[in-house]
């Protein structure tokens, strides 16, 4: 009898824990989306985008075509991706990666910088995402030089032919 009672309750607990984690992530997505909306001056009440949590190796294969240090990405038409090593609940730094990608989602949704050239659009969207990420981190006394780091990039969009129609992928290291 004891065993019969223990087994289902253990299963129940596992299911409950898993549900709680999914709920926590969804809650963070909504909260961080609201924060990004306010910080960036975007129209309120955007629906939250689909967020896929995947292994780092999988995400780097997808956005870099090989190994790279990517931690999050927004791919227009596919949604947002974050690596499963991010500690969204525990780490403001890790949460800021999600915030950064949510800024790219809002940019795409609202067409911010949409009529710039591909190269300028890429740069301006990155600069804004890093600026808002820094603003978020500064709430925790963690403002770092993300923006400067992004300026040192040689965005692939600037090397491509203008108007190639290629979908730009925005990613956070």
* Residues lying near Zn ion in the complex (CB under 5 A): 126, 129, 170
Helix axes 2-40, 118-138, angle to 10 degrees: 120
| Least CB distance to Zn ion at residue 100 (A) | 5
Q: Closest CB to Zn ion among 88 and 101?
A: 101
Helix axes 92-110, 118-138, angle to 10 degrees: 140
Smallest distance from Zn ion to CB 170, Å: 4
Q: Which is nearer to Zn ion, 6 or 166 (CB)?
A: 166
Calpha distance 16→14 (Å, rounded): 5
Give Cβ neighbours of residue 26 (< 8 Å, ≥ 6 apart): 48
Q: Which is nearer to Zn ion, 11 or 153 (CB)?
A: 153
Residue nearest to Zn ion (CB): 170
Smallest separation, CB 39 to Zn ion (Å): 15
């Amino acid at each position: 009898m004891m065993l019969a009672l223990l087994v289902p309750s253990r299963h129940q607990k596992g299911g409950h824990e898993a549900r709680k984690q999914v709920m926590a992530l969804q809650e963070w997505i909504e909260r961080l989306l609201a924060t990004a909306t306010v910080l960036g001056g975007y129209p309120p009440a955007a629906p939250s985008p689909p967020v896929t949590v995947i292994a780092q190796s999988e995400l780097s294969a997808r956005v870099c075509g090989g190994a790279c240090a990517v931690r999050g990405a927004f791919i227009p038409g596919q949604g947002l991706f974050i690596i499963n090593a991010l500690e969204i609940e525990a780490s403001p730094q890790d949460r800021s990666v999600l915030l950064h990608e949510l800024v790219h989602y809002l940019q795409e949704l609202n067409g911010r910088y949409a009529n710039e050239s591909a190269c300028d659009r890429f740069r301006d969207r990155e600069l804004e995402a890093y600026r808002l990420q820094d603003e978020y981190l500064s709430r925790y006394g963690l403002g770092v030089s993300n923006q400067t780091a992004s300026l040192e990039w040689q965005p692939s969009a600037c090397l491509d032919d203008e108007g190639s129609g290629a979908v730009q992928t925005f990613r956070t290291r």
